[in-house]
């Protein structure tokens, strides 16, 4: 019998060990998260190879998974607190309600004044009064505890809601990272040479665009054009520094760029700037101006302005950290002037041996300029 009990205790111990230790403790999670954050920092400093980029994706995916696990643990912990607080609130509410009812009856039937009138005993009245005061003080304590419990309950609920929002963001981020890795492998077919070509093309485009904005392009003045006039066409397919058809549209003042959405008007759009066309993770599309668009709707929106999804989730983040315009496309390749102004045709020779073609419009009604890149004229 003793052997059976001992064996049972050993089995229970093993179950508890395997069952509970499979889940990481908060301290273990914190240490593992710090390890992967350090690993990502190390990988960022290494050479830009396909293997390194895949390793970064894997490390980021693992890091995000750990953060999801950490948030899940915090949600479970708060759920336990909320359950206990709910029980406390219900218990205290029941006690408080009962005390209110009893006190009401006591006051109504047996007040100190009536007690004195009918009994004439002052000491008994004082005792009675003291008892009533004690009841009132106890009720005040119960009410204070009830109020504190309710406040704590509401605060914990709010904290839980915030954690659920964080969890949703992390889950979206994890899905994005997995899609970005899969997309890179699809584009490169896990071939280092193709990956290096992608990087070289993106780097050459970035350098050329920066040079064009700085006034280093070779330009020819065309003359005045009216708003809406056709000034170029989008190159179809891959071209110099571009892996596919799109118009890179920039708004600038001197050598400074502006957010195009501050000037362009509202229009129908297909948002393809995220992990896929129509996904909820794409860049914000929020035009608030009055300008006509340089291409015909429906606009296919491929990359936004500033810190974009592509920068945060794909290999282009190795080339630049800020997108200085917007990438758009349309079923109609015609490119039109967004305002009246003086038109210039230009090109710039990049580091990969081709010339990136563009047109520049010097606006007649302001000091603004607009650039239209990856075009024929």
What are the backbone dihedrals phi and psi of residue 242, each rounded to the nearest 5 degrees, phi first? -140, 130
pLDDT tens digits, one per residue of 138-159: 767 766 776 777 777 788 888 8
**pLDDT surpasses 90 at 220:** yes
Mean local confidence (pLDDT), 8-28? 54
d(CA 340, CA 337): 7
Residue of 61 and 84 predicted with greater confidence: 61
- Residue 117: which pLDDT band, with cuts at 50, 70 and 90? low
The reported pLDDT for the residue numbered 18 is 41
The reported pLDDT for the residue numbered 241 is 80
The mean pLDDT of the chain is 84
d(CA 43, CA 54): 10
**pLDDT surpasses 70 at 32:** yes
Spell out the domains of the chain, with CATH numbers in brackets: 2-187 (1.10.287.1490), 201-376 (no CATH)
Return the half-sphere exposure (C-beta side, CA atoms, 13 A cut-off) of residue 274: 17
d(CA 82, CA 163): 14
pTM of the model: 0.66
DSSP state for residue 279 in the 8-state scheme: -
Mean local confidence (pLDDT), 66-76? 92
Kindly report the length of the chain: 377
Mean local confidence (pLDDT), 318-345? 97
d(CA 54, CA 56): 5
> Measuring CA to CA, how many Å separate 111 from each of 122, 123, 209, 226, 352?
13, 15, 90, 94, 99
Question: Tokens 């520094």 label which residue?
Answer: 241
Q: Rg of the chain over CA atoms, in angstroms?
A: 35
Mean local confidence (pLDDT), 258-285? 93
Select the highest-mean-pLDDT range: 17-26, 118-127, 287-296: 287-296
What's the longest Cα–Cα distance across the chain?
Answer: 115
d(CA 117, CA 135): 22
Q: Which is nearest to 70 in space by CA: 178, 167, 173?
A: 167
- Residue 5: which pLDDT band, with cuts at 50, 70 and 90? very low
**pLDDT surpasses 60 at 280:** yes
Residue of 115 and 264 predicted with greater confidence: 264
**pLDDT surpasses 70 at 47:** yes
The reported pLDDT for the residue numbered 25 is 86
Are 245 and 234 spatial neighbours (Cβ–Cβ below 8 Å)?
yes
What are the backbone dihedrals phi and psi of residue 372, each rounded to the nearest 5 degrees, phi first? -130, 105
**% of the chain surpassing 70 pLDDT:** 79
CB atoms within 10 A of CB 102: 12
Q: Which is nearest to 258 in space by CA: 230, 227, 289?
A: 289
- Residue 236: which pLDDT band, with cuts at 50, 70 and 90? very high
**Structure tokens belonging to residue 232:** 């170029």
d(CA 37, CA 367): 45
User: What is the SS3 assignment for 246?
Assistant: coil
The reported pLDDT for the residue numbered 111 is 52
Residue of 47 and 112 predicted with greater confidence: 47
Mean local confidence (pLDDT), 224-240? 95
């Amino acid at each position: 019998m003793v052997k059976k009990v001992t064996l049972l205790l050993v089995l229970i111990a093993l179950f508890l060990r395997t069952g509970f230790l499979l889940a990481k403790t908060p301290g273990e999670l914190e240490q593992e998260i710090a390890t992967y954050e350090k690993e990502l920092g190390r990988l960022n400093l290494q050479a830009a190879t396909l293997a390194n980029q895949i390793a970064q994706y894997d490390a980021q995916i693992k890091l995000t998974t750990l953060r999801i696990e950490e948030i899940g643990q915090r949600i479970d912990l708060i759920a336990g607190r909320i359950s206990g607080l709910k029980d406390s609130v219900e218990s205290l509410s029941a006690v408080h309600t009962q005390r209110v009812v009893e006190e009401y009856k006591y006051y109504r039937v047996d007040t100190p004044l009536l007690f004195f009138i009918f009994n004439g005993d002052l000491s008994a009245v004082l005792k009675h009064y003291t008892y009533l005061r004690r009841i009132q003080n106890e009720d005040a304590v119960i009410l204070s505890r009830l109020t504190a419990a309710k406040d704590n309950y509401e605060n914990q609920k709010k904290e839980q809601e915030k954690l659920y929002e964080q969890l949703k963001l992390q889950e979206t981020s994890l899905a994005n990272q997995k899609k970005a890795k899969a997309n890179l492998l699809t584009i490169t077919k896990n071939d280092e040479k193709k990956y290096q070509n992608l990087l070289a093309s993106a780097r050459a485009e970035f350098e050329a665009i920066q040079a064009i904005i700085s006034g280093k392009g070779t330009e020819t003045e065309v003359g005045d054009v009216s708003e809406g006039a056709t000034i170029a066409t989008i190159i179809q397919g891959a071209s110099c520094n571009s892996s596919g058809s799109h118009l890179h549209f920039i708004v600038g003042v001197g050598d400074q760029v502006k957010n195009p959405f501050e000037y362009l008007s509202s229009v129908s759009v297909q948002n393809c700037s995220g992990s896929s066309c129509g996904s909820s993770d794409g860049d914000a599309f929020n035009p608030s101006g009055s300008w006509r668009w340089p291409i015909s709707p429906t606009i296919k929106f491929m990359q936004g302005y500033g810190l974009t999804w592509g920068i945060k989730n794909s290999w282009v983040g190795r080339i630049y950290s800020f997108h200085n315009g917007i990438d758009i496309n349309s079923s109609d390749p015609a490119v039109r002037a967004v305002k009246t102004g003086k038109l210039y045709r230009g090109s710039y020779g990049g580091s990969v041996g081709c010339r990136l073609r563009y047109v520049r419009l010097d606006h007649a009604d302001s000091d603004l300029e607009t650039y239209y890149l990856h075009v024929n004229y």
